[in-house]
Amino acid sequence: MRQSLSNARSLLFVPGDDAYKVDKALNGAADAVVIDLEDAVLRERKDQARTLAVDAVGAARGLGPLVVVRINAPDSRWGAADLADLANTQVDALMLPKATPEALALMPADSAPVIALVETAAGLRSAYEIARDPRVAALALGGADLGAELGLEPLADGAELMYARSRLVVDAAAAGSRRPFDAVHLAATDPGALRAEAVRARALGMGGKLCIHPAQVSVVHEVFTPSKAEVERARRVLAALDEAAAGGAAVAVADGRLVDEPVARQARMTLRLAAVH
């Protein structure tokens, strides 16, 4: 089943000038494929990559993963050309690099849904304003660029990005947006470290993760899809509250723990995510 952007867990980046990798990704298991026209493409190949991206969007025809295109900065000549050539396509979303309110203001009013990549200090400070824009479907964390600007030192447990992750989660929720996408895990061939990072990101409220290698997709899906045990617990929570309500009480006990309406909201979300995945 094709995922909607609101339910997507994995966004897999592929270089926009590599037809083989684009085709492979579009026939893969990721919920969404991000055809990258920005950092992954040399200046002299920008036009070629744009043409490939437009063709790939047309060929997808709503099948397989969602098709997202990361454009160049909209105030650059490449970004302006990206927007012009993609305007008449059925691209599922556009990813805005180094998102700020000022950069977002340069996007067309009738553009495809925007995934705002927050990867600068200015963007992080303005994440709530960005998420409130009706064109913005989701926030995503660009950890590498943000870390470079702030001078962060990578830690084994990813604690250096805890504030940024938490800030995006709070601002997205306050703006009524879906849960943000977490930053890429740069060790493409270390599934154990990826799983640990994804588990921490989910615990902080992230709703999915950016990927840079097809092998990362299955791990991300495993972490961001409710397990059988989580589904069963959610059902027990709701059953216990229903029984309590029938007796005139607003709280109940499930699995030895007190549960109330906030816990029930979490349980309903678990069941909704399990149903769509």
- Binding-site residue numbers for Mg(2+) are 119, 145
Strand pairing report for 32-36 and 114-118 = unpaired
Buried-state track 135-158, b at ≥16 Cβ within 10 A, e below 16 = bbbbbbbbbebbbebeebeeeeeb
Strand pairing report for 257-259 and 252-254 = antiparallel
- How many other C-beta atoms are found inside a 10 Å radius of the C-beta of residue 110? 7
Alpha-carbon distance of 92 to 4, in angstroms, equals 9
Alpha-carbon distance of 212 to 198, in angstroms, equals 14
Alpha-carbon distance of 98 to 121, in angstroms, equals 9
Known binding-site residue numbers: 70, 119, 145
Known binding-site residue numbers for substrate: 70, 119
Q: How many CA atoms lie within 13 A of 210 on its CB side?
A: 27
Phi/psi-derived region of residue 225, left when phi > 0, alpha when psi is between -120 and 50, beta in every other case: beta
